[in-house]
Amino acid sequence: MGEGLLYLVVYLQIAMPRDIRVVDSITQPDDSEGTVVVAGSHGGISSGRYAAQLGLTGILFNDAGVGKDEAGIQSLSYLDDLGLPTATVDNQSARIGDGLSMVEGGVVSHINDVAADCGCEVGQSALECAAAMSDAERDPVRADVGNEMTQEMVHDGDTPVWTLDSIGLISDQQEGAITVTGSHGERLAGEFDSYIQADVAGITLFDAGVGKDDAGIGRLKTMNERGIPAATVDVESARIGDSQSALEEGVLSHINDVAAELGISSGDSCSSFVERVREAQ
């Protein structure tokens, strides 16, 4: 996951056979077959697609303020169709991008039908909900999501523009490009360097409803330190987890100092952010 990046991975053995894993991002676990995962990620469709590939028996996300078209909880219906118990916690109860905060204070805000069948309830703590999923002893769910995760170069030239549904898709291919992402705007709790692998020319993320401790905009400072113009898209203006929606519909809610120096302001469209950054290169 890149040099300097540490992340939280905790196994909680609670009255065996419960096996609950806690991570800051759903992109991190790669050996979680048969476990319930509590992830600091938003509950949008891109997170659901990651979870679908892992062979889990349950998953909890942060609801990211729910937002436009209820995109922050879209993974619930997507994973319900696959038979995976899924829940979200209220973004005001736990910091997005922080797995430990999820289990320490997370309060369940939404569940899917499969989770309800496991005994999960709205208002439970995240840990109570995860334990109910584990106790249900359901078969692991693993699905081939193919190319459902969007990453597309939408403008080429000296400063290309990419839409990527997750910052986990950013690689050397996006070096020097502007990246419009579907990810939330918080620096992961265990992130000491940066989860963004390339030196991009600019980046937009979602503010995830801002939420507890203003967590949804924490990465703006990190991008400032790297000299990268960055902004968050209001989760009510576009669908979190959907980078095309961010580019086409997104309205900026917060910007960092580097973006402000380019004349970018809160209230600007995401597409105008892209044009301003391209003009500055």
Q: What is the pLDDT of residues 51-88, one digit of tens each?
A: 999 999 999 999 999 999 999 999 999 999 999 999 99
What DSSP character marks residue 226? T
Go through 15-43 and write b for each residue having 16 or more CB atoms within 10 A of its CB, e for each that does not.
Answer: eeebbbbbbbbbbbbeebeebbbbbbbbb
Element (H, E) at 269: none
pLDDT, one tens digit per residue, over 203-219 is 999 999 999 999 999 99
* Cα gap 18→254, rounded to integer Å: 41
Residue type, 108: V
Judged against a pLDDT cut of 70, whether residue 96 lies above it is answered with yes
Contact between 97 and 5 (Cβ < 8 Å): no
- Among the listed residues 55, 78, 74, 83, the one whose alpha carbon sits nearest the alpha carbon of residue 206: 74
Element (H, E) at 278: helix 270-280
Locate 196 and state its tokens. 């963004």
**Predicted confidence band of residue 269 (pLDDT cuts 50, 70, 90):** very high
**Predicted confidence band of residue 30 (pLDDT cuts 50, 70, 90):** confident
Contact between 254 and 232 (Cβ < 8 Å): yes
**Predicted confidence band of residue 31 (pLDDT cuts 50, 70, 90):** confident
Judged against a pLDDT cut of 80, whether residue 232 lies above it is answered with yes
Locate 188 and state its tokens. 């992961």
* Cα gap 246→157, rounded to integer Å: 21
Contact between 184 and 209 (Cβ < 8 Å): no
Locate 9 and state its tokens. 């991975």
| pTM, entire model | 0.89
What DSSP character marks residue 261? T
SS3 214: helix
Residues 6+ apart with CB under 8 A from 192: 4, 5, 6
**Predicted confidence band of residue 2 (pLDDT cuts 50, 70, 90):** very low
Contact between 218 and 187 (Cβ < 8 Å): yes
Locate 145 and state its tokens. 């999501």
